[in-house]
């Protein structure tokens, strides 16, 4: 699959890179530091979309020959955002709070084309089984969840044994709603 413009993925996430590669996109990864602070009173559905747009705005020097793709993902339990854990104890608390409950994963995306910014979100409901302390600690010790919103990756051990059902896109939970990105990029795609 070719694009009529150069695609830049502005994310260090190995999962986002994996999804784009698997779907056939040719792209380059360029990341620029961006503040991920947000107003704590902001409605949780707006947070990842605003953060994705802030990331895209760091590429103002890229002209219309480029498409800049940015994303941000939040995990939401009881209308509160659960961020990335700072240590193993916090990761344990996060996973224990998700155990035997349903939460939302909201991924916001922004695509910059010259001076035009298009942003959108996708929401998936994730159902967790009840997890034992041993399962949670095994996951933390073996799957390094510190760089993941909510302290888990749906594609890892915890998703395999602890998530019996999702309502929405698996890839949104992984961090990139590829079905919506494909639609947004369709005007620039050449299928050969």
Per-residue exposure over 7-45, b if at least 16 CB sit within 10 Å of its own CB, e if not? bbbbbebebbbebbeeeebeeeeeeeebeeebeeeeebe
Q: Is the pLDDT confidence value at 37 over 90?
A: no
* Residue 35, pLDDT score: 82
Condensed to tens digits (0 to 9), the pLDDT of residues 68-99 reads 999 999 999 999 999 899 999 999 999 999 99
Q: Is the pLDDT confidence value at 40 over 80?
A: no
pLDDT averaged over every residue in the chain: 95
Mean pLDDT lowest for which of 40-54, 102-116, 127-141? 40-54
Q: Which residues pair with 103 in a beta bridge?
A: 126
* Residue 73, pLDDT score: 95
Q: Give residue 134's domain range.
A: 2-190
Domain with 19 in it: what CATH number? Answer: 3.90.950.10
The pLDDT > 90 percentage for the chain reads 89
Q: Copy the structure tokens of residue 78.
A: 């009881």
Q: How many domains does the chain have?
A: 1
The pLDDT > 70 percentage for the chain reads 100
What element of type H or E holds 75? Answer: strand 66-77
* Residue 24, pLDDT score: 94
Q: Show which residues are catalytic.
A: 72
Please state at what angle helix 133-143 crosses helix 88-98, rounded to 10 degrees: 130
Condensed to tens digits (0 to 9), the pLDDT of residues 115-137 reads 999 999 999 999 999 999 999 99
């Amino acid at each position: 699959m070719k694009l009529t413009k150069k695609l830049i993925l502005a994310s260090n996430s190995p999962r986002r890179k994996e999804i784009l590669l698997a779907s056939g996109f040719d792209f380059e990864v360029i990341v620029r530091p961006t503040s991920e602070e947000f107003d704590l009173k902001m409605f949780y559905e707006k947070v990842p979309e605003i953060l994705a747009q802030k990331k895209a705005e760091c590429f103002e020097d890229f002209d219309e020959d480029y498409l800049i793709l940015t994303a941000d993902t939040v995990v939401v339990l009881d209308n509160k955002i659960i961020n990335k854990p700072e240590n193993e104890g916090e990761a344990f608390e996060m996973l224990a709070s998700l155990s035997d409950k349903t939460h939302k994963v909201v991924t916001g995306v922004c695509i910059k084309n010259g001076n035009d910014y298009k942003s959108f979100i996708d929401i998936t409901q994730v159902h967790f089984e009840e997890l034992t302390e041993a399962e949670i600690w095994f996951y933390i010790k073996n799957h390094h969840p510190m760089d993941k919103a909510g302290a888990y990756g749906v594609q890892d051990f915890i998703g395999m044994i602890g998530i019996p059902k999702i309502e929405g896109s698996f890839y949104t939970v992984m961090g990139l709603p590829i079905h919506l990105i494909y639609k947004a990029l369709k005007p620039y795609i050449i299928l050969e």
